[in-house]
Structure 1
Amino acid sequence: MIEAAKIWNEPNNKSHWDILIDPDWAKFAEMATAAGKAIRTAHPTLPRVLGGISPIDPSFIRNMQARGVLDHVDAVAVHGFPLDWNLWKIGEWPNRLEEIKAVTSLPVWVTEVGVSSFGAEEVQAWGLSHTADLLIGRAPRIHWYSLYDLPSTWEATTRHKEAEGSSYYRHFHMGLLREDGTPKAALDLFGRYAREMGLCQWFHFEDHRLDDAVRWMQRLGVVHLRTGLSWADSFRPNALAWFDRQMDALAEFQVTITFCFTPEHRGISPHHTSPPLDVNEFADFCARMVERYCVRTGVSAHTSLPAAADEERACVP
């Protein structure tokens, strides 16, 4: 069940958008507007969510408002990791949400929040419980990042890699499950919050963890899931077969699907963070995916509680 379409990921983070090419986000605004219009044409009610911002910066939201982007989305989103990367304390979460609510009347979703077990699993467990207390009831959607640790043989999506020191290696320890699939101390604790705090789990192309992830989410009672479909991956051989398999496996969850990552050959620069040569190509990809995986029903971006299982309120692959 697809409950929302998310336009890009962390557009104000240089690990996901090249601010040297687009320092004032004018190209991003053009792309996001085109995508918002295309999604609305493809589906009349599917909520559109502006890619979660990291850092949480009201000035970025004001920029998007001034450029007309917020006229073509139904919610904005924020990402926060105060125990690992942000320069603010975990108890400031309510204030951070209020900063964004002060500059837009749109609902504010928290589509990534998490704590690594880099220092100690007990820190992650405490952070999960405290985050739940701080955010549940204050945001229509909350997605804990993530179910799995990032495999050590993969690269984290960041610009400076190992030069970031421990900040880089924390990326690999954000899961409730270790790389080998064994549970950490926070796993069972998450089950207490699973109906009110969903998960964010990115699946790589032909990800070997997909089926096991579904079984874990079923066991935990997860309702809401955020994941992605990569525009760059859509040019791989057998891309649609993989997309179909992924979306079919996730059909029982209410999914916020994130569209992002520029194909190297379609960017101003040959990198997944580059603005596209033609923003309409990204918009067309968003529309095609919505048409492929969504029926013409939808949910409100303001809705906080899961829809009843027998009500047709979301898109079904």
Structure 2
Amino acid sequence: MIEAVKFWNEPNNKSHWDPEVDPGWVRYAEMVKLAATAVRAESPDLTRVLGGISPIDPAFIQTLGSAGVLDMVNAVAVHGFPLDWNHWQIHQWPERIAEIAAVTHLPVWVTEVGVSTFGAEEVQEFGLQRSAELLIGRAPRIHWYSLYDLPKAWPATTRHREAEGSSYYRHFHMGLLREDGTPKLACKHFARYTPELGICQWFHFEDHRTEDAVRWLKRLGVKKLRTGLSWADSFRPGADAWFDRQMAALEDFDVTVTFCFTPEHRGIQPHHTSAPQVAEEYAEFCARMVRRYVGHAATPVARESPLALA
């Protein structure tokens, strides 16, 4: 059921990786190389993907390429939200993919694309249809973010929270479904684009929405799902039992699992965005999760060139 693993989420975004702790991403590069080596030792054919970048920055890919990171992975990934946060227009999606493809031989996956309903549901409705038109056939994997709105009682994973103004509150309105599980306008269109369009849905520790999410994903015809297993959560009491329940619930999907979030007590700084004190510990977590949920055998994802798909 796990077809790929990703090493971190948005490593070039300071909401997810602190550049003051790791100037030039030297520690991140070493961490990914160690983790990729550990995962390959457990499951040689499992597809390894660089953490999806946001913003889409070819210079960042070149930096990691110079550090030897791209030699250790099978694909790179990008995230784009032109109707909410990015400084480019939605029709420029093909250009954004092409500029990354120009600096790497690896396939370019789009592991988060989405539109908030912060202003109006009609904006998301338009954005879904236009994104699908622009991306299907141009990337081997496309994951819409997300199925559910973020519950208002939960914090969004971003650095400055309410100080970001409307940028922060947009995080809470990215779902095809509202917090109470009722569908928005865009939801009625989503099944037109599956299975080519997958979904990215993060599940929090002991998330009460998991079973309902599975029902909705099947109803929408989703085959490809991206989610995460949190290194930080792995230190909670009952963590393995929760991971087991989560992964068992998702067994009918082709899952891309993102390994991320530094445990506060294992970071150079006590924060989930910090580089770890010991990079090998992250690699060991990745290897343990692959050993637990994949085993030795895996089917590699075809290494299509994204431009060949266009």
TM-score normalised to structure 2 length: 0.97
- The alpha-carbon distance between structure 1 residues 75 and 301, as it changes in their structure 2 partners (threshold 3 A), is farther
Residues 63-78 of structure 1 correspond to what in structure 2 (within 5 A)? Answer: 63-78=63-78
Tell me the CA shift for residue 194 of structure 1. Answer: 1.8
Q: 2-side partners of 1:93 and 1:238: how far apart?
A: 42
Question: Which AA in structure 1 matches 2:283?
Answer: A
Aligned CA-pair RMSD: 0.9
Q: Structure 2 CA distance, aligned partners of 1:205 and 1:303?
A: 34
Whether 2:164 is the aligned partner of 1:169: answer no
Corresponding position of 1:203: 203
Q: Distance in 2 between matches of 1:134 and 1:299?
A: 26
Q: Cα offset for 1:182? A: 0.4
SS of residue paired to 1:24: helix
User: How much does 1:303 deviate?
Assistant: 5.5
Residue 287 of structure 1 corresponds to 287
Shift of 1:23: 1.6
| SS state at 1:140 partner | coil
1:300 maps to: 301
Kept after mapping to 2: 8 A contact 1:152/1:172: yes
* Contact persistence 2:78–2:109 (CA under 8 A): yes
Match of 2:262 in 1: 262
Name the residue aligned to 2:308: none
> Amino acid of the residue matched to residue 219 of structure 2?
R
SS at match of 1:244: helix
Tell me how far apart the structure 2 counterparts of residues 163 and 285 of structure 1 sit (CA, whole Å). Answer: 33
Is the 1:8–1:258 Cα contact (8 Å) retained in structure 2? yes
SS at match of 2:140: coil
SS in 1 for 2:24: coil
CA distance in structure 1 between the aligned counterparts of 2:163 and 2:44, rounded to whole angstroms: 45
Q: Tell me whether 1:85 sits opposite 2:85 in the alignment.
A: yes
Q: Is the 8 A contact 1:4 1:47 kept in 2?
A: yes
Q: Residue 188 of structure 2 aligns with which residue? A: 188
Residue 286 of structure 1 aligns to which amino acid in structure 2? C
User: In the TM superposition, what whole-angstrom CA distance separates every residue of 1:49-106 from its partner, at most 9, and x where no partner exists?
Assistant: 0000000000000000000000110000000000000000000000000000000000
Equivalence for 1:251: 251
- Which residue type is aligned with residue 297 of structure 1? A
Contact 1:224 1:255 in 2 (8 A): yes
What amino acid is the match of 2:122?
E
Residue 110 of structure 1: how far off its partner (Å): 0.2
Query: Are residues 60 and 282 of structure 1, via their aligned partners in 2, closer, same or farther at CA, if it must alter by over 3 Å?
Result: same
Cα deviations by residue, 1:2-37 (Å, 9 ceiling, x for unpaired) = 000100000000000010111200000000110111
Superposed displacement of residue 300, structure 1: 2.1
Q: In the aligned structure 2, how far is the partner of 1:262 from the partner of 1:205?
A: 15
Name the CA distance, whole Å, in 2 between partners of 1:303 and 1:250: 25
The count of residues paired between Structure 1 and Structure 2 equals 304
- In structure 2, the residue matched to 1:116 is 116
Structure 2 residue identity aligned to 1:178: R
Residue type at the aligned position of 1:194 = T
Q: Which residue of 2 aligns with 1:230?
A: 230
Deviation at 1:299, TM superposition (A): 2.4
Task: Return the letter of the residue paired with 2:4.
Answer: A
Unaligned stretches of 5+ in structure 1? 305-317
Shift of 1:297: 2.1
Q: Distance in 2 between matches of 1:301 and 1:22?
A: 33
Q: Give every structure 1 segment of 4 or more consecutive aligned residues whose post-TM-superposition deviation is greater than 3 Å.
A: none
Unaligned segments of structure 2, at least 5 residues: 306-310
Residue 213 of structure 2 corresponds to residue 213 of structure 1: yes
Letter in 1 for 2:145: Y
Confirm whether residue 49 of structure 1 aligns to residue 71 of structure 2.
Answer: no
Alpha-carbon displacement from aligned partner over 1:157-203 (angstroms, at most 9, x marks no partner): 11111111111000000000000000000112011112001000000
In structure 2, give the amino acid aligned to 1:196.
E
SS in structure 1 of the partner of residue 34 of structure 2: helix
Given that 1:18 and 1:275 are in contact with CA atoms closer than 8 Å, whether structure 2 keeps it comes out as yes
Distance verdict in 2 for CA 1:265–1:301, change over 3 Å: farther
Quick one: which amino acid aligns to residue 273 of structure 2? Answer: T
* Counterpart residue type for residue 111 of structure 2: T
TM-score (norm 1): 0.95
Provide the rounded CA distance (Å) in 1 between the counterparts of 2:242 and 2:58: 37
Structure 1 position 301, deviation (Å):
4.6
Q: CA deviation at 1:298?
A: 1.5
2:240 alignment partner in structure 1: 240
SS at match of 1:99: helix
Is the 8 Å Cα contact of residues 74 and 301 (structure 1) preserved in structure 2?
Answer: no
CA distance in 1, matches of 2:21, 2:225: 32
Partners of 2:171 and 2:130 lie apart in 1 by 20
- Bigger CA drift: 199-208 or 188-197? 188-197
Taking the aligned partners of 2:289 and 2:35, their CA distance within structure 1 comes to 12
Matched residues in 1 for 2:38 and 2:59: separation? Answer: 26
